[in-house]
A and B are shown apart, each in its own frame.
Chain A
C-alpha cells in the first residue's frame, strides 16, 4: 500500500512549470570584476554601490563553499552562470506598457496586477527575473510615508537609508553566498515603515526565476522604525528547467523599538524531476535584528520546492524585552535536500524566542533541521523553547536534527525537544474504519501535523501553502 502511494508521489508533476517567452537582456556567462562593473553600470548605480559590490566580490574570491551542511551538492561552476538578466521592456509607466506575455505569466501564477489586487488588499512588487517591472499601491502606501519599492529605485531615491541599513545585519563577509549576492545582486525589494505607522496591508513580492541559466540574486531590506508594524509576504514559483539554477538571496530586517515585523515565505521553486534531475539550488541568507526594546520579529516559512535548500532565517535579539519566533514547515520529496533551521542570538535582557519546526520527508529525500540558540553573557532571563518534529513517509528518506545550544548566562531557560517518527498506523486505521481512504487519511494527518505552522501564515498565504503541501506530497497526501 505504502509503496503504491509512494509510487504515485514520484509521478506527481510540478504544477507550476512553464516558461514565458520574453526577450531578456542577458550578459554573457562568467563572473569577473568586469561583470560586476557591468551589472552596476547597467543599473546606473552610484559610485558607492559599485565600491560595495567590488569589495564583496574581492572578499568572495577568498572564500570557499561551505561544506558543513547535511547536503550533497554537485560542484557548482560559478563561471558558467550569467549573473544578470532583465526584461527588455524597461520602466513601464502603466499596465498597458507591461509586456502582455509577462502579465499572462503573473495571471498563471495567480497574481492579479489589476483590480483584484485592491480587493485582496495586497500590494505586489513583482520581480520578474531581476528587474522590478510593476509596483502597485505605491501611491497609497506613500501617503502614509511607507516606502515600498525595488532595491534599485531605493538606491536611486533613498541612498541615505540604503547606506545606513544595507549590510548592517548581513555583512559582505558573512558567508560565501552572502558575499556572492553582495557582489552581483540584481534587484529586490526595499521596505521602510516610518515611526508609528501600522502598514495597512500585507506587503507582498513574487519572485520568479525565468530566463535560462540565470541565477537570481535578489536582496530584500526591511526597516521598521519605532512603534511600526508590517507583515511581509514572499512567494516563489519557478519554471521547469533541466539544469540546476542557482539562487542566492539576502534578506535583512531591522526592527526598531516597539516595532513588529512578520515575514512569511512560501517557497515552491522547481525541485527537480523524480530522478533528481534539475531543480533550483536555494542558498539564502536571511537575518533580522530586533534592535530596539520590545521589538518583535517573526519568521514563518513553508518550504516545499528547490532541489537543495540551505536556509537559516535568524534573529539577533539585541533590544531588551525583544522576542522572536520561527515557524517552519519543510517538505522534501523525490531527491530534494533541505538543510534549514534558524539561529536565535540572545543579547538583550529578558528576551524570548520560540522555534517550531516541522519536517516532512518522502521519496529518497533528506530533510535536516539545523538550529542554534545562543545566550550571551549579559542576556539575563533569556527564554527559549524549541520543538523540531520530523515525519518520515517512506523507508528511503532521511530526517535529521542538529540543534546547537550555547548558554553563557545562568538565568537562561532553554528547552529543546525533537521527535522523529512515521505516521502512526493506528491513526490511519482509525480513519479507514470510518470510511476515509488511506490517501485521504495521510493527507489529514500531514495537514494536522503542519497546522500549527500554517496557522501562523496570513490568510491568503495559508490557502496557497496548504495547496502546495498537497501538490508536493500528491499521491501520499491525496
Chain B
C-alpha cells in the first residue's frame, strides 16, 4: 500500500487538477496494468473528464449531491496494482443463510482471484471473472460490448472512471443458459490509508439467458473511501436479469455507482437498490428499453440516519413501443440524513402503447432530516399511460394510536409502521433466502441495532 501512488494536493485543495496531473504523469503505468480493451477508450475518457471535471451542484443532474467535501480528501490510488493483504474467502462468511451462490470478490478495485474453484462450478460457456483477464482471453467478446453504454454518457464521474478504472467484474451468460444459483459479488474496501477505487463491471446476457446478481458493498477499515464504479449490463432478447444491490458501508465512505442497463426485445429486468447504511451515496441508474415488449421493474429503498446522504438518480428510457416499466422508491430518513430522488421517465416519439408508472414515498422522522424529490415525465408519444406519484410525510398518527390503544408500545408501533412502509420494496426481491434476510436486516436497522450485516466477519 505504501507504494501506491498518492496525489499531493495542489494549493491545499484536491480537485480535478491534481487528478489530471496524476493521469498525465502516470497514464503509462495505468495502461501497463490494464488491458487493451480498456486502454482503447482511456485517453478519450480522460479528455472528456478534463473537459467536464467533477460534477458540482451547479449541474441540474447533481443538484442534490455535493461532492465537494468528499473530493477534498487526498485519496490513494492503487495504480500499480499492488496486491492487498487480505483473503476475503477466509474472512468473509456471508450472513444470508440458505443462500447458495456463486461467490466472487472485488477488493477495492481489483477482482480477487477465485481460490477454490470447486464451489464455483459454472455451467458450460458461462464466463465469470476479472474483466482484465477475460479481456485478454476473449478480446473480441469484451470489445464488442465494453464502453458501449458508458462512453456516450456526458458525465464527469463516468469519464473519470473510464480514465482510471483498470479492472472490474465480468460476467457472460451465453444463449439460453439459465444460472441455477444467484451470483454474489462482494465489493470490499480495504486499505490503511484514505483510498479511492475505480472499477468497471461488464455483464452480458445473451438471448434467452437468465441470471441473478447480488452486489454487496462493504467496508473493512476505518479510513475514508471513495468508490466510483460503472456497471454496464447488456440484456439480450428474451433474457431475464435481476440486479440486487445491498449497501452496508461505514459513514466515511463516498459511494458513487453508475448502473447502465440496455434491454433488448422481450427482456425482463429487475433492479433493486437497497441502501441500509452508508456515508454519501450517489446511484445513477439508467435503463434503456431498446426493444419491444420489455418489462422493467426498478425499485429501491433507503434507511438513513446520522449524517448519511443518499441520492438515487434514475432514468428509464422507453425507446420502443409496447414496453412496461414500474418504478418504486421508498425512503425512511432520521437524524440529519438527507435523501434525494430523481426519477426520469422518458418516452420517445414512437414508443406508443407504453405503460410506465413511478412511485416515490418518503418518511421524515426528525426535524433535521431532509428530502428532495424530483419525478419527471418526458413524453413524446401520445398513446401512452404514464403516471408518477410522490409523497413526503410522517408516520400515520392514527395508525400509531390504533396500535397503542391495543397495547402495542409506541416504539413497537412506530417500528411496525416503518417496516410495513418498506415491505413492498422487499417483496420485490425474487430470491427467497435473500428476501428473508433483508427483512431481518431492515427490522434490525430500524431498531437501530445494526449498522452492518450481522455475522459478516469482514465488516467488523
Determine whether A12 belongs to the interface, using a CB cutoff of 8 Å to chain B. no
- B352 contacts A395, CB within 8 Å? yes
Known contacts A400-B376, A409-B367: A420-B392 contact under CB 8 Å: no
User: What's the count of A-B pairs with C-beta under 8 Å?
Assistant: 113
> Within the complex, which residue of B370, B371, B379 is in contact with A398, where a contact is CB–CB below 8 Å?
B379
Known contacts A410-B394, A422-B383: A416-B367 contact under CB 8 Å: no
Interface string of B350-388 (1 = CB under 8 A from A): 101000000000101111111111111111111111111
Which residues of A are found within 8 Å of B376, using beta-carbon distances? 400-403
A399, B379: Cα distance in complex, Å: 5
For residue A357, give the distance in angstroms from its CB to the closest CB of chain B. 12
Q: Closest A residue to B338 by CB, please name it.
A: A408
Of residues 382 through 403 on chain A, the ones whose CB sits less than 8 Å from some CB of chain B are 390, 392-403
Q: Closest A residue to B340 by CB, please name it.
A: A406
Which residues of A are found within 8 Å of B369, using beta-carbon distances? 410
Determine whether A22 belongs to the interface, using a CB cutoff of 8 Å to chain B. no
A420, B352: Cα distance in complex, Å: 13
- A416 contacts B365, CB within 8 Å? no
- A395 contacts B382, CB within 8 Å? yes
Which residues of B are found within 8 Å of A413, using beta-carbon distances? 391-394
> Within the complex, which residue of B349, B374, B384, B388 is in contact with A418, where a contact is CB–CB below 8 Å?
B388
Determine whether B82 belongs to the interface, using a CB cutoff of 8 Å to chain A. no
> Within the complex, which residue of A377, A390, A414, A420 is in contact with B391, where a contact is CB–CB below 8 Å?
A414
Determine whether B97 belongs to the interface, using a CB cutoff of 8 Å to chain A. no
Determine whether A412 belongs to the interface, using a CB cutoff of 8 Å to chain B. yes
- A417 contacts B387, CB within 8 Å? yes
Which residues of A are found within 8 Å of B375, using beta-carbon distances? 401, 403, 416, 418
- A394 contacts B374, CB within 8 Å? no
A377, B380: Cα distance in complex, Å: 38
Determine whether A68 belongs to the interface, using a CB cutoff of 8 Å to chain B. yes
For residue A395, give the distance in angstroms from its CB to the closest CB of chain B. 4
Determine whether A421 belongs to the interface, using a CB cutoff of 8 Å to chain B. yes
Determine whether A411 belongs to the interface, using a CB cutoff of 8 Å to chain B. yes
Which residues of A are found within 8 Å of B372, using beta-carbon distances? 404-407
A394, B381: Cα distance in complex, Å: 8
> Within the complex, which residue of A396, A398, A404 is in contact with B374, where a contact is CB–CB below 8 Å?
A404
For residue A418, give the distance in angstroms from its CB to the closest CB of chain B. 5
Known contacts A377-B367, A410-B394: A395-B379 contact under CB 8 Å: no
Q: Closest A residue to B376 by CB, please name it.
A: A402
Residue from B60, B369, B370, B385 having most chain A Cβ neighbours under 10 A: B370
Which residues of B are found within 8 Å of A420, using beta-carbon distances? 377, 379, 384-387
Determine whether A243 belongs to the interface, using a CB cutoff of 8 Å to chain B. no
Q: Closest A residue to B357 by CB, please name it.
A: A419
A392, B383: Cα distance in complex, Å: 8
Determine whether A139 belongs to the interface, using a CB cutoff of 8 Å to chain B. no
For residue A162, give the distance in angstroms from its CB to the closest CB of chain B. 35
- A397 contacts B393, CB within 8 Å? no
Total residues of chain A contacting the partner, CB 8 A:
35
Known contacts A377-B367, A422-B384: A402-B374 contact under CB 8 Å: yes
- A412 contacts B377, CB within 8 Å? no
> Within the complex, which residue of A390, A410, A418, A419 is in contact with B365, where a contact is CB–CB below 8 Å?
A410
Interface of A, helix, strand, loop or mixed by DSSP: strand
Determine whether B390 belongs to the interface, using a CB cutoff of 8 Å to chain A. yes
A395, B352: Cα distance in complex, Å: 9
Q: Closest A residue to B385 by CB, please name it.
A: A421
> Within the complex, which residue of B368, B374, B378, B380 is in contact with A405, where a contact is CB–CB below 8 Å?
B374
Q: Closest B residue to A416 by CB, please name it.
A: B390
Which residues of A are found within 8 Å of B386, using beta-carbon distances? 419-421
For residue B366, give the distance in angstroms from its CB to the closest CB of chain A. 6
- A403 contacts B374, CB within 8 Å? yes
Residue from B364, B367, B382, B391 having most chain A Cβ neighbours under 10 A: B382
> Within the complex, which residue of B362, B385, B389 is in contact with A417, where a contact is CB–CB below 8 Å?
B389
Q: Closest A residue to B359 by CB, please name it.
A: A417
A408, B340: Cα distance in complex, Å: 12
> Within the complex, which residue of B366, B374, B388 is in contact with A410, where a contact is CB–CB below 8 Å?
B366
Determine whether A415 belongs to the interface, using a CB cutoff of 8 Å to chain B. yes
Which residues of A are found within 8 Å of B349, using beta-carbon distances? 395-396
- A405 contacts B387, CB within 8 Å? no
- A400 contacts B373, CB within 8 Å? no
A393, B376: Cα distance in complex, Å: 20
For residue A167, give the distance in angstroms from its CB to the closest CB of chain B. 26
A70, B364: Cα distance in complex, Å: 31
For residue B392, give the distance in angstroms from its CB to the closest CB of chain A. 4
Of residues 407 through 460 on chain A, the ones whose CB sits less than 8 Å from some CB of chain B are 407-422
- B394 contacts A390, CB within 8 Å? no
Q: Closest B residue to A415 by CB, please name it.
A: B391
- A405 contacts B390, CB within 8 Å? yes
Which residues of A are found within 8 Å of B371, using beta-carbon distances? 405-407
> Within the complex, which residue of B381, B382, B389, B392 is in contact with A407, where a contact is CB–CB below 8 Å?
B392
A392, B349: Cα distance in complex, Å: 12
Known contacts A403-B390, A405-B392: A422-B382 contact under CB 8 Å: yes
Which residues of A are found within 8 Å of B362, using beta-carbon distances? 407
A413, B395: Cα distance in complex, Å: 10
- B60 contacts A68, CB within 8 Å? yes
A413, B371: Cα distance in complex, Å: 12
Q: Which residues of B contact A (CB under 8 A)?
A: 60, 349-350, 352, 362, 364-394
5 nearest CB pairs, A to B = A410-B364, A392-B382, A414-B392, A419-B387, A420-B386
| A–B pairs, 15, beta carbons within 8 Å | A70-B378, A393-B382, A400-B378, A401-B375, A401-B377, A404-B372, A405-B374, A406-B371, A407-B372, A410-B369, A413-B391, A416-B373, A416-B388, A418-B387, A422-B382
For the A-B complex with A414-B391, A418-B388 known, give 18 more contacts whose Cβ atoms are closer than 8 Å.
A392-B379, A394-B382, A400-B376, A400-B379, A401-B376, A401-B377, A404-B372, A405-B372, A412-B393, A413-B392, A416-B373, A417-B390, A418-B377, A420-B377, A420-B384, A420-B385, A420-B387, A422-B383
